[in-house]
Amino acid sequence: MSKDAFVDAGLYLPQTGRIVAIEQCTVNEKFFRLELTRPLQHRPGQFVMVTVPGMGECAISITCGPREDNILEMVIRRVGNITAVLHGLEVGDTLGIRGPYGAGFDLEEFYQRDVLIVAGGLGLVPLRSLLLPMIAAHQRFGAITIITGARSPAETLFRHELADWREKENVRIIELVDSTDHYQWDGEVGMVTAPIGSLVLDKNRTMVVLCGPPVMYKFVLLELEAHHQIPATQIFVDLERRMRCGVGKCGHCQINQAYCCQDGPVFRYSDIQNYPEGLA
Amino acid sequence: MGSYLATEEQVSTWLHLLAKERDLFWPRSVGQFNYSFLPLGERDEICFDRYLPTIVPPGRRLLPDDETLFTSQQGDDRLSHYLPPQPSAPMVLAGVRPCDLKGITQLDTVMAAAPADPYYHQRRVNTVIIAMNCLAPCDSRCFCSAVGALGAQDGADVFLTLLAEGVLVESLSARGDEILVKASFSLCEDGKERRLVAEGTRPLPFGRELAVVPEALPEMLRKGYESPVYHRYGERCYSCGTCNLVCPTCYCFEVRDEMSLDGFSGRRSRTWDSCMIPAFAEVAGPHNFRAEVGERQRHRLKRKFEYLPERFGLGSFCVGCGRCGRQCTANIDILNMVNDIAVEVGGGS
Ligand code: SF4
Ligand code: SF4
């Protein structure tokens, strides 16, 4: 084994992040803003490993766009022990952070292109890291269409931001819920697949990004194929796996040939469409 | 990087000398049939006879179970401070067979892939390897020759071959030279030639055979993705994970945190894990990407013969040691499984 290869002795050591803001987004989701000791320097679509001291570590998507300061933003759903503890934390408490990890998006690839974003459930959380820089420089892109889906109005995320983004002349937003569930709702009702057929998309210049629950991908891809035939090289999917190390060593997130933590979690669809475990 | 000829007694004396300076592991017989890489004690005898592969491969010493990733301590500032583990002590792995040697060089590559694993790296650069040639298959499970592991010398610092006239000791690296300074063996000018003559006496075929050449395996396994063979073997599998734990090229791990009772200090460790255990590929939802035992057998097998070889370009990641079959309660043997798939897909001869 080569002795001079670069080895980061601190690979498994978290840096400390202090919580500077918390917001309850929905019953199960909280927004956290952390101040780190150094800039994260991440790309859209990357993730961090979050340590709750003494409890454990889990992979969490970064929800802020790339930034120069030491800020990290995440939206965390309460699903297990670690996230339950996270939900109990207060401003001033600290967490351990490793990363950023993952391949992420290359924003420049989207310049001058039309963009279709389909975000189901928590899909908007990681995709916000792509959308924020995109909206900030919206003149550099063609038409940006964002379709969001939630089970009910109570589970929608980032609605204020979506309302702001909608003001840009080249941004169109379609918000859907499966059912209004007796809440007031000014968006549409239905599945995220519903509007796809009637969109006008130029298959040569449209980039598509999908993020949502596993079942969503298959149906959205079928709709896209049926109506728009956008090449698989222009479609990105953001996949979830159970990562332990985040750096391609522990083996947990392997999807056939690919490592979700290093090759993903954002994959070009053409790279994984032949992987039977990819969208299974 | 010379060659020497020595008696078994001289080699034994030399190894004991080395063992005084640092931990030296040699396969020692334990129980009736088994072997284990254990520290060589002053009074321990060294057995040069043919020995079966140890249950746990020597490479696991480089990636020990329950290894500390960090300890944490809450300071007066109420912040958690994360401290790296103590660096490990230098060691010698001696009596390493070519299959296990190849397994170690493959782990080297996996762990060095960016970002490199710092703890593995630290252990590895501190480890001297004294390998031991094989001139006959260790038992009826062995198939190292079929997967190209038999000739492996890469990664070894010293290479031993048992000749009729004594033990051939070849130094393969500067570190090998260094540890041989202490030995008083006689120089052997034609060491390589003598080794080749001895290797020429190996039986043919050497151990069991693959139905296809290893290079053809990735394509064959892609074709046979839906093969019922995985599920047929899966039917009698207990999903116990032993096959992974004894494999020289399995390295997956689980991460665990523990907190001391004082509530202020803690430790994160990694423990050996296994893709044969049902929960391995589970995600929140809950959803399991390999819920079926046959799917897990397929994953294990494809990692050895397709995924890792293609990702790292080092040929078969199964080194043919036969351990998984030897230790499996259900007698599930990876070579039999591959050969059955070959017959079925039609890639077999
Ligand atoms: S050792 Fe045998 S029974 Fe256990 S998981 Fe492996 S194949 Fe299955
Ligand atoms: S897969 Fe089985 S035979 Fe191959 S290297 Fe691993 S334990 Fe040995």
With CA atoms as reference, report the closest residue to B25 among B128, B149, B116: B128
The pLDDT assigned to B143 comes to 97
The dihedrals phi and psi of B202, each to the nearest 5 degrees, come to -60, 140
Check: CB of residue B297 under 8 Å from CB of residue B333.
no
Q: Where is average pLDDT lowest: A240-249, B182-191, B307-316?
A: A240-249
Report which ligand 1 atom has the smallest distance to the Cα of B238. Answer: 3
> So what's the pLDDT on residue A119?
96
CA angle at B293 for the pair B312 and B299, rounded to the nearest 5°: 10
Q: pLDDT at residue A239 above 70?
A: yes
Of the candidates B134, B131, B133, the one whose C-alpha atom is nearest the C-alpha of residue B59 is B131
Give me the pLDDT at residue A172, please: 96
Separation CA A200–CA B3 (nearest Å): 75
- The band of A144, judged by pLDDT with boundaries at 50, 70 and 90, is very high
Residue B284 in this model has a pLDDT that exceeds 80: no
**B residues 76-95 near A, CB within 8 Å?**
78-80, 82-84
Whether residue B246 has its Cβ less than 6 Å from ligand 2: yes
pLDDT above 90: residue B259: no
Distance B205 CA to ligand 2 centre (A): 19
Chain centroid to CA B144: 12
**CA–CA separation, A187 vs B289, rounded Å?**
34
pLDDT confidence band for A280 (50 / 70 / 90):
low
Chain centre distance of CA B231: 27
* One CATH from 3.30.70.1140, 2.60.40.10, 3.40.50.80, 3.10.350.10 for A107-272: 3.40.50.80
Dihedral (Cα; A194, A195, A200, A206), 10-degree rounding: -80
Residue nearest ligand 1's atom 4 by CA: B240
pLDDT given at position A5:
63
Query: pLDDT tens, A149-179?
Result: 999 999 999 999 999 999 999 999 999 999 9
What integer pLDDT is reported at residue A4 of this predicted model?
Answer: 55
- Answer yes or no: is pLDDT of B240 > 70: yes
Q: Residue A3's closest chain B neighbor by CA?
A: B125
Answer whether residue A2 shows pLDDT above 80.
Answer: no
Question: Higher confidence at residue B148 or residue B31?
Answer: B148
B101-139, pLDDT tens digit by residue? Answer: 999 999 999 999 999 999 999 999 999 999 999 999 999
Beta carbon of B318 within 6 Å of any ligand 2 atom: yes
As beta bridge partners, residue A189 has A177
B301 lines ligand 1 (CB under 6 A): no
CA-to-CA distance for B21 and A126, rounded, in angstroms? 53
Percentage, residues of chain B above pLDDT 70: 99
What is the Cα–Cα distance from B91 to B103, expressed in whole angstroms? 18
A26 Cβ partners below 8 Å, 6+ apart?
Answer: A154, A155, A156, A157
Q: Give B278→chain A minimum CA distance, Å.
A: 12
Check whether B349 has a pLDDT greater than 50.
no
Q: Which CATH class is domain A3-101?
A: mainly beta
Cα–ligand 2 centroid distance for B103 (angstroms)? 9
Residue A3 has pLDDT above 60, yes or no: no
Decide if pLDDT at B160 tops 70: yes
Laid out side by side, the sheet with B186-187 consists of B34-39, B23-30, B91-96, B127-132, B158-163, B166-171, B3-6, B186-187
How much of chain B exceeds pLDDT 90, in percent? 82
Mark yes or no for CB contact B84/A10 under 8 Å. Answer: yes
How many CB pairs below 8 Å do chains A and B form together? 129
pLDDT for residue B347 is more than 60 = no
Instruction: Kindly compute the dihedral angle of the four CA atoms of residues A257, A260, A261, A262, in this order, to the nearest 10 degrees.
Output: 50
Span of A1-10, A154-163, B160-169 with lowest mean pLDDT: A1-10
How far is the C-alpha of B272 from the C-alpha of A52, rounded, in Å?
22
pLDDT of residue A216: 92
Distance (Å, rounded) from C-alpha B194 to C-alpha B168? 8
Please tell me the predicted confidence (pLDDT) of residue A267: 95
**Beta carbons of A244 and B113 less than 8 Å apart:** no
Quote the minimal CA–CA distance from B309 to chain A in Å.
10
pLDDT-above-90 percentage for chain A: 83
- What is the domain partition of chain A in residue ranges? 3-101, 107-272
For residue B348, pLDDT beyond 60: no
Q: What integer best gives the mean pLDDT of chain A? A: 93
Contact B103, A46 (CB under 8 A): no
- Per-residue pLDDT of A85-124, as tens digits, reads 999 999 999 999 999 999 999 999 999 999 999 999 999 9
Which among A163, A140, A127 has a CA at the least distance from the CA of A237?
A127
Predicted ipTM? 0.90
What's the whole-number mean pLDDT along residues A13-30? 95
pLDDT on residue B148: 94
- Distance, CA of B29 to CA of B45 (rounded, Å): 10
Burial B18-46 (b: 16+ CB within 10 A, else e): bbeeebbbbbbbeeeebbebbebeeebeb
Question: How far is Cα B26 from Cα B8, in angstroms, rounded to an integer?
Answer: 14
